[in-house]
Amino acid sequence: MSALHIDRLPTAVAAVLFAAVLVWFIRRARRGGSIFIRRIAGLEAVDEAVGRATEMGRPILYCPGLDPMEEVATVASVNILGQVARRAGQYETRLIMPNRDPIVMTVAQEVVREALTEVGRPDLYDPNDIYYTTQSQFGYAAAVCGTMMRERPATNFFIGHFYAESLVLAETGNATGAIQIAGTDADSQLPFFICSCDYVLIGEELYAGSVYLSREPLLLGALKGQDAAKAMILFALLAGTILALLGVDVRSILE
Amino acid sequence: MKSTGPVILGFLVGMLMFIQYFTPDKWIEARYNNVLDWKQVVFGITLILGVVSLFLYHWRKIEKREAGWLYSIVTVAGLLLMIAGAIAFSPQRGPYTWLFDYVQSPMQSTMFALLAFYVASASYRAFRARSFHAALLLTAGVIVMLGRVPLGELIGFSAGEKTYSLATLSTWILDYPNMAAKRGIMIGVGLGITSTAIKIIVGIERTYLGKGA
C-alpha cells in the first residue's frame, strides 16, 4: 500500500512550491526589502466608514458571513474584524456583531476585547454587542435586517462567505442609507454585493484585507508571494494556451 | 505562553490536517476523525454559550426597555417555548414540531421569498445604462435572461444546418467571458486560502488569536 495518495501528488508539489515562494518573500520582507502593494479601494474606505459612524453617533455593524470558524474565509473575516475593532476603539464607536455560529461568536468576542485593550479602551468592550442569533440561514438574515432597521448603523461590513441571504442583507443596509463594505470569496454572491454595496472586496482581496490594514511587513511579504504565485500560474496558462494553439497536446505529455 | 501555546498547537494540528490529505495512513486518519469529534463537542459547548448570549442580549433589552424591546419578548418567549415543548413532549411531535412546521418554517420561506423583490430592486439599479460599461452589462444581462427562457430559443436565425439563437449566445457568454472572469477570481481565492492557511500554520498570522498581527 502506498504511503501517499498518488493522485494528490501534484497538489502536494504545488502546495510545497507555493509555500517556498511565500517563505522566500517573507524572508525578503524581513531583510527590509521594499514592498509595493496596489491600492484596494474597499480597504482604503475602512477609516472613512468608521469615521462616518463616529460623526453620526451611530454604531457599526459587522457580519462575519455564514460559514463556521474552520473555513478560511471566516478566519480572514475575523482577522479584518480585529483591525476594524481597533479603529472603532480609537474613534470610540460601538461595534455590533450578530453571529450565526457560536464558535465564531466566542472567537470574535475575544478578538474585539483584545483589539480594544490594545488601543487602550477596554472599557468600550461589551460582550452583549457580539451575540448569537440562530443557526437558521434566513433566520439569521431576518435578525441582521431587524438590527439594521432598529439600530440604524451608519456603516455595515459584510465580510466572509455568504449564500442566498447576501442580497437580503445588502439591500436592507442600502435602504437604511448605511455606507456598506462587503467582501466575499463566494463568486455567485459577488454581483449582489456589487449592486448594493459601496465597496466590495473581490475574492482574494478578502484574504489580503487584514494584511493591508495592519501593514505588518512579514505579512506584506506573504501577500507579495501570493502575487508572485499568481503570476507563475498566469505564465503557465499562457504557455499552455500557446502550445495548444501550436497543436501540442500538453495533457498527454504531462500524463 | 498565552500566545505561544496556541501557535504551537495550531502548527501541530495544521500540519497533521495537511499531511492527512496526502496520505492514506490509518493512524493519521484516526487522528483526523478525533479532531472532527472534538469539533462536535466544542460546538455543543459553545452552542450553550450562544443560547445564553442570545437570552442575555434580549433580557437586557427587555429590562432597560430599549428600542424594540417588544420584539425581544417574542424572541425570548419563542426560545423558551421551543425548549419547553421539546423537553415536555418530544422534538418529533407536540408543540415543538407544530411551532417548527407552522411558524418557523413559513417565516424562513417568507424571508427567502423576499429575495425576488430584492433582486428586482438591485437589478433596477445595476441595469441603468448610464455609462458604456453599464450599457454592456445591461446588454449581456438581457441576452442571458432571454436566452434562459423558451422565447430565447425562437429569437435567432439559421445558417445551413446550424441555428444561432439568443440561447446560443447566452450559453457562449456564460461559458467563455463569464467563466474566464470566474476562474480568474477562483484562482485568486485558491491562492488566498492557501496563503492564509500557511500563515496561520507557521504562526505569522495571529489576529484570530486576539493578538495584533
Query: What pLDDT digit, counting tens, does each position of A201-253 carry?
Result: 999 999 998 888 888 888 888 889 989 999 999 999 999 999 999 998 887 87
- State residue A76's pLDDT score: 92
B213/A214 Cβ within 8 A: yes
Phi/psi-derived region of residue A97, left when phi > 0, alpha when psi is between -120 and 50, beta in every other case: beta
Closest approach of B25 to chain A, Cα-based (Å): 7
The pTM score is 0.91
Closest approach of A212 to chain B, Cα-based (Å): 11
Nearest chain B residue to A171 by CA distance is: B118
Of A98-112, A179-193, B107-121, B158-172, least confident by mean pLDDT is B158-172
C-alpha cell at A10: 501534484
Round to whole Å and give the CA distance between A61 and A156.
5
- State residue A36's pLDDT score: 84
Q: What is the mean pLDDT of chain B?
A: 90
Kindly indicate the confidence band of residue B213, based on its pLDDT and cuts at 50, 70 and 90. Answer: very low
Tell me the CB-side half-sphere exposure of residue B59, using CA atoms within 13 A: 9
Asked if B53 is an interface residue toward chain A (Cβ–Cβ < 8 A), one would say yes
Closest approach of B86 to chain A, Cα-based (Å): 17
Round to whole Å and give the CA distance between A70 and B14.
11
- State residue B189's pLDDT score: 94
Asked if residues A225 and A25 have their Cβ atoms less than 8 Å apart, the reply is yes
> Would the pLDDT of A162 be above 50?
yes
Question: Looking at residues A82-110, what average pLDDT do you find?
Answer: 94
Asked if B199 is an interface residue toward chain A (Cβ–Cβ < 8 A), one would say yes
> Would the pLDDT of B53 be above 70?
yes
> Would the pLDDT of A86 be above 60?
yes
Tens digit of each residue's pLDDT (9 = 90 or more) over A189-199: 999 999 999 99
C-alpha cell at A164: 442566498
Asked if B15 is an interface residue toward chain A (Cβ–Cβ < 8 A), one would say no
> Would the pLDDT of B8 be above 60?
yes
**Which residues of chain A make contact with B194, given a CB cutoff of 8 A?**
15, 18
Question: Looking at residues A134-144, what average pLDDT do you find?
Answer: 95
A122's enclosing H/E stretch is none
Helix axes B132-147, B166-173, angle to 10 degrees: 120
Amino acid identity for residue A99 in this structure: N
Nearest chain B residue to A13 by CA distance is: B22
Task: Mark B29-46 as b/e (b = at least 16 C-beta within 10 Å).
Answer: eebbeeeeeeeeeeeeeb
**Which residues of chain A make contact with B46, given a CB cutoff of 8 A?**
102-103, 105-106
Kindly indicate the confidence band of residue B6, based on its pLDDT and cuts at 50, 70 and 90. Answer: confident
Kindly indicate the confidence band of residue B112, based on its pLDDT and cuts at 50, 70 and 90. Answer: very high
- State residue A123's pLDDT score: 95
Cell 486576539 belongs to which residue? B210
Q: What is the mean pLDDT of chain A?
A: 92
> Would the pLDDT of A107 be above 70?
yes
> Would the pLDDT of B47 be above 50?
yes
Nearest chain B residue to A104 by CA distance is: B46
Question: Looking at residues A79-106, what average pLDDT do you find?
Answer: 94
Which of B57, B103, B118 is the best mutation test for A, with the most CBs of A within 10 A?
B118
Closest approach of A203 to chain B, Cα-based (Å): 5
- State residue A1's pLDDT score: 57
In order of A86, A108, B27, the CA distances from A214 in angstroms are 10, 18, 40
SS3 content of chain A, % helix, strand, coil (to 5): 65, 10, 25
Tens digit of each residue's pLDDT (9 = 90 or more) over A53-66: 999 999 999 999 99
Task: Mark A206-242 as b/e (b = at least 16 C-beta within 10 Å).
Answer: bbbbbbbbbebbbbbbbbbbbbbbbeebeeeeeeeee
Q: Which of A111, A118, A132 lies nearest to residue B54, judging by beta carbons?
A: A132
- State residue A161's pLDDT score: 96
Asked if residues B32 and B17 have their Cβ atoms less than 8 Å apart, the reply is yes
